[in-house]
């Protein structure tokens, strides 16, 4: 069996990091230049995952490695 990403746990991890850094969903939306916050809420609820580009940008915003956001 190969490793998979747990979307719900990853969303919870991103939410935890945002709280630790006092970042709002709106802050993340502005940083990523997204047209709406809906996709961010989907990430936080574990309904979807950020694209690789967005994961890379989030790692820069959060100042952590990309794999620190992803839960297996």
pTM of the predicted model as reported, rounded to 2 decimal places: 0.91
The answer on pLDDT for 1 being more than 90 is no
Q: What is the pLDDT of residues 52-72, one digit of tens each?
A: 999 999 999 999 999 999 987
Q: What is the pLDDT of residues 6-60, one digit of tens each?
A: 999 999 999 999 999 999 999 999 999 999 999 999 999 999 999 999 999 999 9
Q: What is the pLDDT of residue 72?
A: 78
Cα atoms found within 13 Å of the Cα of residue 28, Cβ hemisphere only: 26
For every residue of 32-53, DSSP letters joined together read: HT-S-SHHHHHHHHTS----HH
């Amino acid at each position: 069996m190969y490793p998979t990403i747990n979307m719900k746990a990853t969303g919870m991890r991103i939410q935890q990091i945002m709280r630790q850094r006092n970042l709002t969903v709106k802050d993340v939306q502005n940083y990523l230049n997204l047209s709406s916050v809906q996709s961010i809420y989907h990430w936080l609820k574990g309904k979807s995952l950020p694209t690789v580009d967005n994961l890379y940008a989030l790692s820069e915003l959060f100042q952590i490695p990309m794999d620190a956001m992803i839960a297996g």
